[in-house]
């Protein structure tokens, strides 16, 4: 079955050349916005990080309890919904959560407007204790005040000992994250401790 037979786009009046161009646009859009799995992971992690939860309600079907900041009106429950275009086409009354869906846009905007928008999350096999890596931009000036050199100094502070370490910070910044799902409770705990951990990093 061709993509245009499954698509929500009505392509009955398109010729083959137009269909190929639309396919290219859809591929480019996937590169920009991510795959169906990427959108699902973003929504699940984002909602959970903000205090809500997403649960599977069937094959390709989900329901969510939204945090207050993401609700429209007073309704806490959201769904049923799906991240699959095909599933949405085959079933009535199911919301299709795409990259431009209102829920995704509200979630993206809230993250960008908050301090979370300036942070990234990594799962690294060489880090024993969860923590935060802070990046400091250090500039060196000459006698006239002109900047002659600048460098970024990453400092990692773990949540248990609050011990700032530059070498580990550099490994964290340059390390590649492994596949897996982070512990949402640990992530929330780190966010709550970020000011104290930042103080420890500032003293380094």
Per-residue pLDDT of the chain (204 residues; tens, 9 = 90+): 343 344 445 555 556 776 666 566 555 555 545 678 888 888 998 888 788 999 998 889 999 999 888 887 767 898 899 999 889 888 888 999 988 888 888 888 887 676 555 567 788 888 888 999 988 888 888 888 787 888 888 999 999 889 999 999 899 988 888 877 777 788 888 888 888 999 999 988
Domain membership of residue 17 (yes or no) is no
Kindly state whether residue 182 falls inside one of the protein's structural domains.
Answer: yes
- Of 61, 86, 115, the residue at which a domain comes to its end is 115
Query: What tokens does 121 get?
Result: 């999350």
Residues 139 and 176 in one domain: yes
Domain containing residue 94: 34-115
Asked whether the whole model's pTM tops 0.95, one would answer no
């Amino acid at each position: 079955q061709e993509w245009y037979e499954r698509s929500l786009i009505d392509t009955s009046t398109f010729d083959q050349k137009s269909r190929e161009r639309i396919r290219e646009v859809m591929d480019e859009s996937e590169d920009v916005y991510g795959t169906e799995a990427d959108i699902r992971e973003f929504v699940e992690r984002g909602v959970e990080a903000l205090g809500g939860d997403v649960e599977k309600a069937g094959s390709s079907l989900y329901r969510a309890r939204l945090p207050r900041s993401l609700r429209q009106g007073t309704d806490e429950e959201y769904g049923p919904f799906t991240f699959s275009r095909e599933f949405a086409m085959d079933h009535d009354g199911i919301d299709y959560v795409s990259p431009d869906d209102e829920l995704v846009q509200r979630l993206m905007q809230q993250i960008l407007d908050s301090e979370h928008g300036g942070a990234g999350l990594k799962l690294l096999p060489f880090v024993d204790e969860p923590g935060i890596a802070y990046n400091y931009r250090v500039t060196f000036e000459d006698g006239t005040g002109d900047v002659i050199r600048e460098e970024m100094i990453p400092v990692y502070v773990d949540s248990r000992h609050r011990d700032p370490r530059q070498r580990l910070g550099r490994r964290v910044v340059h390390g590649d994250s492994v596949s897996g799902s982070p512990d949402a409770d640990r992530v929330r705990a780190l966010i709550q401790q970020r000011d104290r951990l930042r103080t420890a990093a500032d003293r380094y």
